[in-house]
A and B are shown apart, each in its own frame.
Chain A
Amino acid sequence: MHQISVAQLAKGLRDKQFSSTELTRHFLDRIASLDSRYNSYITVSESAAMAAAEAADRQLAAGDAAALTGIPIAHKDIFCTDGLRTSCGSRMLDNFVPPYDATVIQRFKRDGAVLLGKTNMDEFAMGSSNESSFYGPATNPWDRERVPGGSSGGSAAAVAARLAPAATGTDTGGSIRQPAAFCGITGLKPTYGRVSRLGMIAFASSLDQAGPMARSAQDCALLLNTMAGHDPLDSTSAAVATEDYTAALDNSLEGLRIGLPREYFGEGLDAATGAAVDAALKELTAQGARLVEISLPHSHLTVPAYYVIAPAEASTNLSRFDGVRYGHRCEDPVDLHDLYTRTREEGFGDEVKRRILVGTYALSAGYYDAYYKKAQQVRRLIKQDFLDCFEQVDVIAGPTTPGPAFRLGEKSDDPIAMYLEDVYTLAVNLAGLPGMSVPAGFVRGTPVGLQLIGRHFDESRLLNIAHRYQQVTDWHVQEPPEIAEGAA
Chain B
Amino acid sequence: MAIEQDEIEKIAELARIRIDADHIGDVTRRITDILHMVDQLQAADTRDVEPMANPLDATQPLRADEVTESNRREAFQAIAPAVENGLYLVPKVIE
Contacts and interface: CB of A to CB of B under 8 A. Distances in A.
Interface of A: 95-99, 192-193, 206-207, 232, 235-236, 238-239, 298, 300-301, 303-305, 307-308, 315, 319, 322-327, 329, 333-342, 344-345, 348, 353-354, 356-358, 360-362, 364, 370-371, 373-381, 383, 415-416, 419, 429-433, 456
Interface string B6-33: 0110011011111110000001001101
Contacts of B35: 358, 361
Given A329-B82, A376-B52, A383-B52, A99 B75 contact: yes
Nearest to B80: A325
Contacts of A95: 79
A99 B79 contact: yes
A319 B43 CA distance: 32
A303 B78 CA distance: 42
A207 B55 CA distance: 8
Interface of B: 1, 3, 7-8, 11-12, 14-20, 27, 30-31, 33-35, 37-42, 44, 46, 49-56, 58, 60-61, 63, 72, 75-76, 78-82, 88, 90-94
Contacts of A319: 15-16
Given A333-B91, A377-B49, A431-B55, A99 B80 contact: no
A324 B88 contact: yes
Contacts of A430: 55
17 contacts: A96-B79, A99-B76, A315-B15, A325-B80, A325-B81, A326-B80, A335-B91, A345-B19, A354-B31, A361-B11, A374-B46, A375-B41, A383-B55, A431-B55, A432-B54, A432-B55, A432-B56
A46 B55 CA distance: 39
Contacts of A381: 44, 46, 49
A238 to B, nearest CB: 7
A236 B54 contact: yes
B38 A307 contact: yes
Contacts of B40: 300-301, 304
Nearest to A329: B81
B72 to A, nearest CB: 7
Nearest to B50: A380
A97 B78 CA distance: 10
A305 B81 contact: no
Contacts of B19: 345, 353
Contacts of B30: 354, 415
Contact of A360 (B11, B18, B38, B79): B11
A86 to B, nearest CB: 11
B92 A380 contact: no
B60 A373 contact: no
A333 B17 CA distance: 14
Contacts of A353: 17, 19, 27
Nearest to B52: A380
Contacts of B76: 99, 325
